[in-house]
Amino acid sequence: MTLVQKAIPLEIRYNKEERILEVDFDDGHMFSFPAEFLRVESPSAEVQGHSFAERRFIGGKINVGITAIEPVGNYAVRICFDDNHDTGIYSWETLHDYGVRQEELWHRYLQEIKSRNISREP
């Protein structure tokens, strides 16, 4: 049995002006996440629910920013947003997965808010 090494961030940077979080992983991947993307895809139960049927698609976050990035042990960060949302714990695995699937997740989000008549604007 071969153990799969999980990617670990080497550096996490936040560009406040552009509202972009950049994460460099030790496997060579570098991902750029708009704060809006991270907010609407928050891994918190408030957003994700306990199943896809419970998932909340949140609008009005186009201008959301990040106020703090706090380490959670050696496995994650808690991202605090300027709309007072701070309950999502973004594990290294989640951030890497979000990076790999960012286009797919963003496309799904845009389709869902359109079908629900929800705006990205506040």
Sorted by where each starts, the structural domains of the chain and their CATH numbers stand as 9-115 (3.30.2020.30)
Contact (Cβ atoms closer than 8 angstroms) between residue 20 and residue 34: yes
Contact (Cβ atoms closer than 8 angstroms) between residue 88 and residue 43: yes
Residues of the chain with pLDDT > 70, as a percent, come to 96
Task: State the DSSP code for 88.
Answer: -
Q: What is the mean pLDDT of residues 6-18?
A: 96
Neighbours of 75 (CB within 10 A): 13
pLDDT tens digit sequence for 38-94? 999 999 988 888 777 788 899 999 999 999 999 999 999 999 999 999 999 999 999
pLDDT for the residue 5: 66
**For the chain, what is the mean pLDDT?**
93
Q: Which residues pair with 20 in a beta bridge?
A: 15, 34
pLDDT for the residue 25: 97
- pLDDT grade, residue 2 (50/70/90)? low
pLDDT for the residue 50: 79
Neighbours of 56 (CB within 10 A): 13
Query: Taking 80 as the threshold, does the pLDDT of residue 3 lie above it?
Result: no
In the chain, beta strands by DSSP E: 9-15, 20-25, 30-34, 66-72, 76-81, 89-91
Query: Taking 70 as the threshold, does the pLDDT of residue 17 lie above it?
Result: yes
Contact (Cβ atoms closer than 8 angstroms) between residue 108 and residue 40: no
